[in-house]
């Protein structure tokens, strides 16, 4: 018995955007957030805690990307957060 056509999504571009946002965008946000934290806080402490917190945050960001309806909006949000974290790194006080 074939699948009901109303449950099939013919738009493959949205699925590719979701998958790439989940994997690459989530990783980009995770790394930029931890680098911004390391720029403002104790670097050694952030590096030690990022071994666990980075993986947990990446998985949560992947789940958010897959739950979204539009993959391009998620890409936009993830890029905006990464740019904000990069700005925080740029304006961090030098040690």
Torsion sign, CA atoms 54, 56, 62, 65: negative
CB of 25 closer than 8 Å to CB of 68: no
- pLDDT at residue 10 in the model: 67
Which domain does 81 fall in, by range? 19-90
- pLDDT by residue (tens digit) across 2-34? 778 777 766 778 889 999 999 999 999 999 999
Q: pLDDT at position 36, please?
A: 94
Whether 80 maps to a domain, the answer reads yes
Has residue 2 been placed in a domain?
no
Per-residue pLDDT tens over the stretch 47-89: 899 989 999 999 999 999 999 988 899 999 999 999 999 999 9
How many separate domains does the chain show?
1
Q: Which residue has the tokens 């993959």?
A: 71
What's the predicted TM-score (pTM) here?
0.83
Contacts of 35 (CB under 8 A, 6+ apart): 85, 89
Distances in Å between the alpha carbon of 16 and those of 53, 65, 87, 94? 26, 11, 28, 40
pLDDT the model gives residue 9? 66
């Amino acid at each position: 018995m074939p699948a009901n056509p109303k449950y099939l999504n013919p738009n493959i571009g949205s699925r590719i955007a979701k998958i790439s946002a989940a994997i690459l965008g989530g990783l980009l946000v995770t790394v930029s957030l931890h680098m911004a934290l390391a720029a403002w806080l104790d670097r050694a402490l952030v590096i030690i805690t990022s071994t666990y917190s980075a993986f947990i945050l990446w998985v949560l960001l992947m789940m958010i990307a897959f739950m979204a309806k539009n993959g391009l909006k998620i890409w936009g949000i993830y890029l905006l957060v990464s740019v904000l974290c990069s700005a925080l790194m740029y304006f961090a006080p030098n040690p």
